[in-house]
Amino acid sequence: MHKKALRGLWGLLLALFAGAPLGALADVQVSGNVKAVLSSEIDTGTFSCSGAPVCTGIMTMTLRNVHCSGPFIYSQAITISGLNLAAPGPLSLTLQSTLNDTHVVNPNGSCTYTLTPNVETQLFAGNWDGKLGTFSFSGPDPDQAGFTMTVNAKFTASGLGPPPVFPMTVTSNITPTSSSVTATIQPKPADAGKTESIYVFAIAPLSKLVNKDFKDGPDPCVLAQVNSGGQLVGVTSSTMTAAFTGVINSQGQAVTILNNVSTPNVAGASMYVGYGATAQGMFSSGTFQGVVNVPGSTQCQTNLSNVAAATSPGGLTGLWWNASESGWGIHFTQRGSNVFAAWYTYDTAGKPKWYVSTCAGVTPGSLSGTCNGTVYDVSGPAYFGVPFNPSLVSAVNAGTLTLTFTNANAASMFYSVGGVTRTVALTRQPLSSDTAVPAVDYSDIWWGGTAESGWGIAMAQQSGITFVAWYVYDANGKPTWLVATCTMNGSTGTGTIYRTTGPAFGPSFNPNSVTATAAGTITVNFTDPNNAILNYTVDGVTGQKQVTRQIF
């Protein structure tokens, strides 16, 4: 197959998880200090740069060599890459400098320094906790063989937050016993004079809801509103009650967020306010923002403030299985008339293997109907421990797939793949007994951007549980998959990664032949409803990936 034809195929297959990279943070200002200890020299300095994840700026260094009677000060242009500050986590940084210094010791003990253009790149390991960043290096001195060099740096950043969705002033009085909060919101200029509904809502711990029998287990953050009795009640966007409906003028509209509410009743909740013709419209347009966080032992900070609402897929989206054949499954993502299927199963040797298909023909918005698609068998580059090379990804036609959905929870799957033809009943796989609506539903197919086209991760969420199926390649370029059940704490999920083997792909399936082995750990930090950062360790290899929802 020609590369041009392959690119066309990839478009049909959602570019096999390809997508746009996370947006750069051009207004970020980073500044810090650095100290380098070399064999005969201690260098200290400061740096400042603009932008993230690529930051360009100036570093000024003071060199103090033991052979020189005085210091030497100079400045040079620098570029720091990998400065991913969207969420706390480890950093893998590259610092590129532009000058090289050499010196000659004079008879009087002073030194004469010479600066020459020289582009030099150094890798650093770092960390960002949301307020303070660090990075360091310890290894061979690049300028003096046989000697070591140690570099430590600290930095802070400003300008990370996006501008407010709309102007707002807040007055609050929160004590350990009672909470009173009011806000005056000023509509966007284009919305002034319109008739709108203002909604006050919370992202609150499930255990604080009066209409939920909370049991031991995860305490996820869910959508809620405060009722007339000052208690949190779980809601959805369709059952949310407006605090005000009428014309909002440009002078602003005052609204009560909490009216002398018992603080223990709302402890840990993040309060929000927004407006729209309906609550669904408010969420779709992202016309809402955070007002105040009420302190609590479980703090719900779900990163909803000042960001667009989740670009969630259709109602058929999620993890599906046959309950009597535990060990394989298929994740559906519905958008418009297409259902993208990511199918994890096993090859003839019982090793994990996956297929993909874009099944076309369902009625947009419908929870029933039939679609048809081609099944593709994909191969690609080794994934863990090496840079991902998307040019090595290829796909071949492996068969056909027909899905017939009876409703949002029941379907049948007909396939003809590898000489095997079969029809199997499917149901939505239950992940949690809780039915509370999560603050954000992360169920979707996620990807790493066009720079890493060819791998993806499917997420299925129910209340406080998010199941992830990670579709990558082994050291031989064969498709392989890993799974994890992540417990959610606000917008962060953590879990153990498992590698599974099972019975050979065929006309029947014996679940007793399935075995799972722990392969590592994963943390998924959702930086907003549509973007996340994966931090993982698999088979001793630690890494980080940025992912975003696949929109098709």
Distance CA 293, CA 336 (A): 37
Mean pLDDT over residues 214-238, rounded? Answer: 79
Instruction: Pull the structure tokens for residue 345.
Output: 């199963």
Other beta carbons within 10 Å of 231:
17
Confidence tier at 371 by pLDDT (50, 70, 90): very high
List all residues 6 or more positions away from 94 whose beta carbon is below 8 Å from its beta carbon: 80, 81, 82, 121, 122, 123, 124
Q: Who wins on pLDDT, 455 or 100?
A: 455
**Taking the model in full, what pTM does it have?**
0.59
Express each pLDDT in 122-146 by its tens digit: 889 988 887 889 999 888 776 666 6
Mean pLDDT over residues 240-261, rounded? Answer: 92
pLDDT at 219: 67
Contact 379, 479 (CB under 8 A): yes
pLDDT at 410: 96
pLDDT at 301: 58
pLDDT at 323: 95
pLDDT at 480: 97
Express each pLDDT in 307-345 by its tens digit: 455 677 888 999 999 999 999 999 999 998 999 999 999
Express each pLDDT in 356-369 by its tens digit: 999 999 988 889 99
Would you state the torsion angle of the CA atoms of residues 117, 121, 124, 129, taken in this order, to the nearest 10 degrees?
Answer: 70
Q: Who wins on pLDDT, 299 or 38?
A: 38
pLDDT at 15: 36
pLDDT at 214 over 70: no
Q: Who wins on pLDDT, 173 or 65?
A: 65
- DSSP string over 77-93: EEEEE----SSSEEEEE
Mean pLDDT over residues 495-522, rounded? Answer: 94
pLDDT at 26 over 70: no
Closest CA to 300 of 264, 348, 266: 266
Q: Work out the angle at residue 125's Cα, subtended by the Cα atoms of residues 122 and 131, and round it to the nearest 5 degrees.
A: 120
Residues in the chain: 552
Express each pLDDT in 57-76 by its tens digit: 888 888 999 999 988 888 88
3-state helix vs strand vs coil in the chain, percent to 5: 10, 55, 35
- DSSP string over 53-65: SSEEEEEEEEEEE
Mean pLDDT over residues 409-413, rounded? Answer: 96
The architecture that CATH gives domain 29-158 is Beta Barrel (2.40)
pLDDT at 528 over 90: no
DSSP 8-state assignment for residue 326: B
Radius of gyration of the chain (CA): 27
The percent of residues in the chain predicted with pLDDT above 70, rounded, is 90
Reduced to 3 states (helix: H, G, I; strand: E, B; else coil), residue 512 is helix
Contact 461, 443 (CB under 8 A): yes
